[in-house]
Structure 1
């Protein structure tokens, strides 16, 4: 018996022009959002587990850093191979298998009794999560074509929901059951999501989004434009991670209480989640370059405001700062498919996410070393200056977008 009927013009997989139907596009978007929420939640769930593992295994901070690095490292380095694998297996099969592998990794972690065992388990889970960003982003891009910018912002926002929900869920579970049982429960959720993806994620042919063959000069311009876009993504991530490294120390110097520190950081993260959603749609209306200029200029101005304002006004601007910090990312993700041939969408997203994840790992180290030399306040000013460096790069990107007609 068929699970779905595509006989009507609304629900069938493709319309008369070979483009995905409305219902198909919606299903691709929402299943991609579920995958994003699960995998990003799995990634940040480690933070809630580190204190438990430290107490249970007697681990030092260096060993805990290794655990986090193993997961992030495998996830970042395997994104390009995941994109290539999808060209052979297909997006649906590769994403479903990756989700299952990520879930099984946490199940194995629940069986581990040593640090090497945990490292192996997290490497397995991280390798599974490497499939999500390039493949789900590529699926949404192919499904929506030129209208993908808004849906990609929804997809991007879903990741923040997962980052909030799954760490909170595991923290709650470990208060009522052993942490190993809690991990098995979270693993079962991942297995269920993998099954749903395998059964229900529509297959969008790469040819479905191809409208016309671009001219050779447009292709060359798009390649140059993608390099500029990746540069902006790397710098934007560096600004965000650098500021978040120093923000607690800035607020502490202003006299914030330990109880209020968590609230202050939550204000930034709430603003950041809203920024991913709002700025993606804003970019679809006022254009990516105008939005990037506004968010980066606003980021620089608000960083300086947080540095020099007293505590109470600084807390007031934190949600807006979070919106500006995270808002650029949705605009950038939405621009990736505009600079990429449809058959190379997964590879483009894999390159983009690999660059930004690497920047997120290295930027705190670089800014931290700078802070040791010139102090926290001056190093934070350096993050604002980095945001301003993005402005001329964005203007150069705007020229490429006009040349390619994107």
Structure 2
């Protein structure tokens, strides 16, 4: 191997500092992703309180996800010279302030404004946390990025389950306040764990080695990520109502989401390992085919079999993201921070728009029709990802 193209394993300092940086990124990712997916548990409550349709619920949630996705690139650009500590603390402070605003007795206006403010906060987290991991581990960042993505699924599994347990006991505004309190704890942890100085000195070292890319490979990767996210978010929009329609109550909905996300967390490890052995393209194709099959199965199974299928569905539904995120530095054309911001813009933007479209289709036809369209979206990834092969490095683990 040409040693001149190799990057240092930990360009930012000692293994202890690298571990603290990774912990800071993982804790931030876990809480912010927990915030994001806990919103699904509130959907039936908001539908009953505000009289919203499926499309209306999707629009309400898109205020959060659309803001979070649309501001990825501006947030990366504006905070590029900030220290990771300052950027992640600001991100969390804005997110918890949004939750507190939602908890105030301001009706629909307060709910919408709070979702936008929380979305602004979370828009900072993704590119800054991902870049912190990439800058810390250099060329060896694929596996730490997998750990980072796994931490997000832990948050997705734990916080929605906690919210589902609390909602039957206290009102939803009080639950929002408790979620905000977790953000305060995170800020205290970040003050000790996250680096306090900008990492600009290492930015040049994170440029991906190898041949220059013309941008088409990255465009394909971003489109694959967008379709993969559209499938996931479309299914998540209807899952609470799918469970509710089969006799499940609020705690059961929380259990269903937790089972799905626990499977997703396991999927990050499974597909991270699988991607290294069979390649990115084969791994994604396998996952999308299995996703389509399992989503279709949950349309016809009773409540208990559906719950049993959800962890398996979670493995393939969420597992691909670890493979896709780990490929971003390889196709980044050198500016990894901007590449992550663009990639997150695409996938989060898709996650905001797709549920609106699926929700409108459900309102005009049926929930089953909309869910079948999520199946077709997953299958559409298969021929698209096959065109990614020429743009990946020549190692078999990339393909």
Aligned length: 386
Normalised by the length of structure 1, the TM-score is 0.78
- Alignment partner of 2:382 out of 374, 378, 391: 391
Range with greater deviation from structure 2 (309-318 or 326-335): 309-318
Q: How does 1:337-356 map to 2 (within 5 A)?
A: 337-341=329-333, 344-356=335-347
Higher relative contact order (CA 8 A, sep 6+): 2
Tell me if the contact between 2:69 and 2:345 (Cα under 8 Å) persists in the aligned partners: yes
Q: How does 1:67-216 map to 2 (within 5 A)?
A: 67-170=60-163, 182-202=175-195, 203=197, 205-208=199-202, 210=204
Tell me if the contact between 1:218 and 1:403 (Cα under 8 Å) persists in the aligned partners: no
Alpha-carbon shift at residue 100 of structure 1 (Å): 1.3
Unmatched segments (≥5 aa) in structure 1: 1-13
Partner of 2:280: 288
> Following the alignment from structure 2 to structure 1, what is the Cα–Cα distance between the partners of residues 50 and 41?
15
Unmatched segments (≥5 aa) in structure 2: 1-6
- Please give the per-residue CA displacement for 1:247-301, whole angstroms capped at 9, x wherever unaligned: 6888899xx5546974666544432232123212332344322321221233234
Tell me if the contact between 1:150 and 1:281 (Cα under 8 Å) persists in the aligned partners: no
Indicate how the Cα distance of structure 1 residues 377 and 86 shifts in structure 2: closer, same or farther if over 3 A, else same.
Answer: same
Normalised by the length of structure 2, the TM-score is 0.79
> Following the alignment from structure 2 to structure 1, what is the Cα–Cα distance between the partners of residues 181 and 325?
30
Partner of 2:18: 25
Alpha-carbon shift at residue 41 of structure 1 (Å): 2.1
- Please give the per-residue CA displacement for 1:5-62, whole angstroms capped at 9, x wherever unaligned: xxxxxxxxx989945432222212111111011112222344445666678xx53326
Tell me if the contact between 2:95 and 2:121 (Cα under 8 Å) persists in the aligned partners: yes
- Alignment partner of 2:321 out of 329, 338, 350: 329
Tell me if the contact between 1:33 and 1:154 (Cα under 8 Å) persists in the aligned partners: yes
- Please give the per-residue CA displacement for 1:324-361, whole angstroms capped at 9, x wherever unaligned: 1111111111111221155x323222222221122223
> Following the alignment from structure 1 to structure 2, what is the Cα–Cα distance between the partners of residues 49 and 294?
33
- Please give the per-residue CA displacement for 1:148-180, whole angstroms capped at 9, x wherever unaligned: 222222221222222333344445556666665
Alpha-carbon shift at residue 109 of structure 1 (Å): 3.5
Structure of higher CA gyration radius = 1
Alpha-carbon shift at residue 68 of structure 1 (Å): 2.9
Range with greater deviation from structure 2 (147-156 or 32-41): 147-156
Alpha-carbon shift at residue 404 of structure 1 (Å): 10
